[in-house]
Amino acid sequence: MLELIREPWPWYIAGPLVGLTVPALLIIGNKSFGISASLRHTCAMCLPANIKFFKYDWKKEIWNMFFVLGILLGGVIAYSFLSNPNPIIIDGNLQTELAGYGITEIYGMLPEQLFSWESLFTLKGFFMMVVGGFFIGFGSRYAGGCTSGHAISGLSNLQMPSLIATCCFFIGGLIMANIILPFILSL
């Protein structure tokens, strides 16, 4: 059983399990799936300033904080006890392309040459972590939710704004991966 949990699950098992989260939340408590709202709840809990956006009854949404805590705890457990000891296999073409940008040490999910405290103070690292983080936060607020909320929950509820947001997420991802990212990596 433990070996089954350690292996990556195929899409036809993992996908429906993620997808079944939406009806489960709707049936159990009439709640919508999404993660970015938890940041608003955290700010409303910790910073009860006189800001209109944070003035609401966040206690009604405490379930979302437990949901996010469960995701975090699940990630820690998976990393600590269920990690695959085998090295990550990266396609040779991608390795060659990354080497052209000076990224040669790829030992984990995030290359340390891009995502480390030392690279944070470089132009490339600043754009990747600080500017990228800002755009993710701004975009999820501007779109009224994050990719999980729109693409999983909103689409399954047949919401037109979620379809538009999800299309924009994919278009933005294609532009980022094929135009902007190569430019940033060449800095």
Structural domain total, the chain: 2
CA 16 centroid distance within chain: 18
User: 7 and 78 share a domain?
Assistant: yes
Residue 95 belongs to some domain of the structure: no
pLDDT tens sequence across 145-185: 888 888 888 888 889 999 999 999 999 999 999 999 999 98
pLDDT bracket for residue 76 (50, 70, 90): very high
pLDDT bracket for residue 104 (50, 70, 90): confident
How far is CA 93 from each of CA 17, 28, 32, 180, rounded to the nearest angstrom? Answer: 32, 46, 40, 19
User: 127 and 170 share a domain?
Assistant: yes
Report yes or no: 82 and 6 within 8 Å, Cβ to Cβ: yes
> What is the amino acid identity at position 153?
S
Q: What is the pLDDT of residue 55?
A: 82
User: 76 and 121 share a domain?
Assistant: no
User: 131 and 178 share a domain?
Assistant: yes
User: 8 and 61 share a domain?
Assistant: yes
**CA 52, 131, 169, 19 torsion-angle sign:** negative
* Mean pLDDT for the stretch of residues 24-52: 82
State yes or no: pLDDT of 48 exceeds 70.
Answer: no
User: 1 and 78 share a domain?
Assistant: yes
Residue 61 belongs to some domain of the structure: yes
State yes or no: pLDDT of 122 exceeds 80.
Answer: yes
Residue 98 belongs to some domain of the structure: no
Q: Percentage of the chain surpassing pLDDT 90? A: 22
Q: Which among 42, 19, 22, 39 has a CA at the least distance from the CA of 31?
A: 22
User: 56 and 134 share a domain?
Assistant: no
Task: Give kind and range of the element (H or E) at residue 64.
Answer: helix 62-81
> CA 5 to CA 126: how far, in whole Å?
36
- The radius of gyration of the chain from alpha carbons, rounded to an integer in Å, stands at 19
Q: What is the pLDDT of residue 63?
A: 87
Q: What is the pLDDT of residue 167?
A: 94
Residues contacting 117, CB < 8 A, separation 6+: none
User: 74 and 124 share a domain?
Assistant: no
Which letter does DSSP use for residue 116 in this model?
S
Print the domain residue range for 24: 1-83
Q: What is the pLDDT of residue 180?
A: 93
pLDDT bracket for residue 84 (50, 70, 90): confident
> CA 159 to CA 57: how far, in whole Å?
25
Residue 106 belongs to some domain of the structure: no
Residue 99 belongs to some domain of the structure: no
User: 76 and 120 share a domain?
Assistant: no
State yes or no: pLDDT of 28 exceeds 80.
Answer: yes
Residue 90 belongs to some domain of the structure: no
Residue 36 belongs to some domain of the structure: yes
Residue 93 belongs to some domain of the structure: no
Q: What is the pLDDT of residue 82?
A: 83
State yes or no: pLDDT of 20 exceeds 70.
Answer: yes
Q: What is the pLDDT of residue 74?
A: 92
